[in-house]
Each structure stands twice: as C-alpha cells, then as structure tokens.
Amino acid sequence: MAEIEKKPVKIMETVLRDAHQSLIATRMPTDEMLPIVEKMDKVGYHAVECWGGATFDASLRFLHEDPWERLRKLRAGFKNTKLQMLFRGQNILGYRPYADDVVEYFVQKSAANGIDIIRIFDCMNDLRNLKTAVSAANKEKAHAQVALSYTLGDAYTLEYWTNMAKQIEEMGADSICIKDMAGLLLPYEATKLIQALKETTKLPIELHTHYTSGVASMTYMKAVEAGVDVIDCAMSPFALGTSQPATEVMVETFKGTPYDTGYDQGLLAEIADYFRPYRDQCLESGLLNPKNLGVNIKTLLYQVPGGMLSNLTSQLKEQHAEDKYYEVLEEVPRVRKDLGECPLVTPSSQIVGTQAVFNVLMGERYKMVTKETRDVLSGKYGATAKPFNAEVQKKVIGDTEPITCRYADLLENELDTLEKEIAPYKEQDEDVLTYALFPQVAMDFFKYRDAQKTKVDAKVADTENGAYPV
C-alpha cells in the first residue's frame, strides 16, 4: 500500500488569550504568563495567540496593566515563536467603527510592538470592513489572516463560504480562518467545508472552534483529515467547556499518523503543570465558573457563544429576572433574524443578546431599543447576509435613510483630535490608541499610572498596613 504523504498539522496555542478569555473573563495577568514563556517557546507552535480580543480592555479595566507593555514583555520572551492577535476589523478592539487613520495606526503599532499575525474579522462578515486593516498589515509586512465568522442559517451555504474565500484571496490576505466562535461546526460539515475551501483557494486554512457544544475535538479530527493547515488549541488546564480542545490531546491523537505534530508531550506536560495551580486558584475564587466547563448542546439550537451566555445570565441577575433565562434564549434567534441573520460574535452577540433581554423584560418587542440595535438597522455595522426585517427596521429607525456604503467612508480622520485630548497624559505613542478605544477606562488607567509614580517618603510610609500617604 502506498504510504500517505506526511502533512503535520500545525497548532496555534490560545492559552494566553482566547482560553482565559472564554473561561475566566480574560483575567489572567501578565505576571502569570511570563514565567512559562521560555518553555512555551520551545514547543514549535505555529503561533501563540496572546493579544487582542478582550485582553486589551480587561488589562486596563480590571488588571490596571498597560496592554502594550504586556505585548512587549511577551515579545521579549518568545524568541522563536510567532505572536498572534485578534482584531475586529473596523472596530479594532473596541465596540464602534473607527476612522481609517486609527485602524492603520493601530495595525502599525501592533506590528512594531511584536505582533506577527493579525487575525482580522468582522461581526457581519462584511469584507468592506476588513480592507483597511488587511492593507495596513500588508504594508507593515505582518501576516494578514482574514477570519470568517462561522454561523448557520439559510444564507450560509457552501457557496457563500467559497465566494467569501475567493474575495479574501483577491483582497491580499495571507491566510483564511474559519472562526467558529459558538462551536456550531459539526464534524462531517467540517469535512465538506474544508474540502470546498481547499478546492477554491491556495491560501492556508486555519480552523478555530470552541468546545461549548461538545463536538470540537471530532470536528478538528475531520478537518485535519480534510486538509486543514492549522487548528487552534489550548493547554489542558484551560481547555474544553467554552474554550478550545486541549493541545496535548490533539498532539496525542495525530501521533504516528501523517498529521503528527512532532511536539514533545514531556514539554507540554511541564507547561500544563505550570498552569494547573492557577486554574485551581481560579476555581476556588469563583473566577472560573464550573458551568463554563460543561457541554451545552443548546448552543446548536440558539447559536449563543459561550461568552454571550455568561453575559445574558449577569444581565438578568442584575434585573432580578433570572426566571426569564429560557425566554431570552428563545428570543435571541428571533432578534438575530430581524437583524439580517448576522453571525453572533463580538460585538453583534452583545447587541442581539441585550436587545433580546429588553424585548422579554418590556413585554413588547423593540419597545425599548439600544443605540447599537439602532446602529445595526441603520447600516453602520455593515451589510448583512440577509435583509433586515423591514417592519422592525421601520419601527426602530423610522424614516431615516439607512447607510449602504462602507460606514467608515463617512468618518473623518480622528487621530489629531485624539492626540490633543490626551496630550497631558501621554507617555508613549501608543497611549493615543488606548484612549481612542476606551476613552473613560484609558483616562482612569493613566491617572492610576501617574499615581503609581508619586514618590513616597519612606519615613512616613506606614509599611505595616500597606498604606502610603501620597
């Protein structure tokens, strides 16, 4: 029998970004990451995802850390491994569309501080919202990967995905990622999808999924057999549940096959041993909710990504309406359909989820509407795969003429204004970008940073109680 040609599958490691974002609300501090970097650098990963997504916001807001400083420290530690980030197209790492000059500058600074691969996606899969970021990445000689937000619905046929892939290749992207944020891609569907993409494009294909619905490892196996180039995994202490399949399990699965990664299980075990005590600590403190580690097949019914589920629970808890949980879950697909059957991924997942909560609590659909729902129906977030529900659109935006062009084309450059506003606090070029994304949170952080620098007279410092008069 002819020997099958060797095609080792590559693994992108998510433990420093998506894994802790999905399981512990992005709360892993930089100091927890740095001691293990040297060992992780020896594995031979395709890349390590360590930045972007919600890490930027969480670093500033909850950890009082400068995200740029984190990136520089990780870059200094990873001598041989490519570093990857997640980038929300025209929304960068924030929740609104930004002007092109801010997007370009952000890409430039991300590359300058150490990012090699920029995974760029748009919550509507509107490719017009990715062009600026892709061109900027090309210009900075960074690897531009375009991620398609995978979702289910009448519009999302194999033809839809292969058409997208062709356009992405023409756009100048270096690779394509199928971003299955809710764990909706089933094993045999993965075979069909990867084969179709491989026949359509010469670009490398990467697959990203979450374990939420319980099928992810099987999906990876079928995808690898179908020729996928890279799969996204997480070290076992931060794998499964709402996170990714476990790195070590995948390495063992393909051992001795044509897809053998060649990674050293002994080294991976040492890395897992490092993260395990921190995971246990998160369980004890309640930061890691055991619910996030279970399998929820309802994901396939409601298409609600893991992060969105925890969001909905906390919104209902605040309103003392936890009994309405299942009503809200059933309302989510209806709102999604009204909003053009968009994929549910940040920020569209939050927009649809919050609107579903309002619709249920008010007892009348769209009686109260968020600014973001209004923006979606006005076309500010881009074109959707299906048309909006005309009645809902009329109820929400009235006679306002919806936008059909790329919304960023209507935005004036913002950098000069932002630079002026932030001048008194600026300590590094990157500060203007931090401020652009999260003005209020950035200001609080800059003030905190200044306070840390204030000199304390050792003689009057109350060291015993840790209280230092400033």
Say yes or no to pLDDT of 304 above 90. no
384 phi, psi to nearest 5 deg: -105, 165
Would you state the torsion angle of the CA atoms of residues 447, 452, 453, 458, taken in this order, to the nearest 10 degrees?
Answer: 140
pLDDT recorded at residue 305? 74
Nearest Cα neighbor of 311 from 299, 323, 325 is 325
Say yes or no to pLDDT of 3 above 90. no
Handedness of CA 203, 131, 95, 334 (dihedral sign): negative
CA angle 357, 361, 362 (to 5 degrees): 115
Return the percentage of the chain with pLDDT > 70, whole number: 95
pLDDT, tens digit, 9 for 90 and up, residues 233-254 = 999 999 999 999 999 999 999 9
Residue 463, judged by CB atoms within 10 A of its CB (0-12, 13-18, 19+), counts as exposed
Say yes or no to pLDDT of 466 above 50. no
pLDDT, tens digit, 9 for 90 and up, residues 366-423 = 999 999 999 999 999 999 999 999 999 999 999 999 999 999 999 999 999 999 999 9
Per-residue confidence band for 55, with pLDDT thresholds at 50, 70 and 90? very high
pLDDT recorded at residue 2? 57
Q: How many other CB atoms are found less than 10 A from the CB of residue 305?
A: 26
Asked whether the beta carbons of 211 and 243 are under 8 A apart, the reply is yes
Asked whether the beta carbons of 228 and 9 are under 8 A apart, the reply is yes
Asked whether the beta carbons of 229 and 205 are under 8 A apart, the reply is yes
Per-residue confidence band for 291, with pLDDT thresholds at 50, 70 and 90? confident
pLDDT, tens digit, 9 for 90 and up, residues 255-266 = 999 999 999 999
- Class of 303-403 in CATH: mainly alpha
Q: Which residues pair with 147 in a beta bridge?
A: 121, 177
More confident residue, 70 or 298: 70
Side chain identity at residue 303, one-letter code: Q
Residue 129, judged by CB atoms within 10 A of its CB (0-12, 13-18, 19+), counts as buried
65 phi, psi to nearest 5 deg: -120, 150
pLDDT, tens digit, 9 for 90 and up, residues 414-455 = 999 999 999 999 999 999 999 999 999 999 999 999 999 875
pLDDT, tens digit, 9 for 90 and up, residues 219-228 = 999 999 999 9
Q: Helix, strand, or coil here: 172?
A: coil
Per-residue confidence band for 459, with pLDDT thresholds at 50, 70 and 90? low
Asked whether the beta carbons of 277 and 26 are under 8 A apart, the reply is no
pLDDT, tens digit, 9 for 90 and up, residues 131-186 = 999 999 999 999 999 999 999 999 999 999 999 999 999 999 999 999 999 999 99
Asked whether the beta carbons of 11 and 251 are under 8 A apart, the reply is yes
Asked whether the beta carbons of 59 and 67 are under 8 A apart, the reply is yes
What are the boundaries of each domain within the chain?
Answer: 8-288, 303-403
Binning the chain into helix, strand and coil, the percentages to the nearest 5 are 50, 10, 40
CA angle 373, 441, 292 (to 5 degrees): 65
E strand or H helix at 352? helix 348-362
Q: What is the mean pLDDT of the chain?
A: 93
pLDDT recorded at residue 128? 97
Mean per-residue pLDDT, 295-299 = 83
Asked whether the beta carbons of 121 and 347 are under 8 A apart, the reply is no
Say yes or no to pLDDT of 468 above 70. no
Nearest Cα neighbor of 74 from 38, 44, 108, 109 is 38
- Evaluate whether the domain defined by 8-288 bears CATH number 3.20.20.70: yes
Side chain identity at residue 348, one-letter code: S
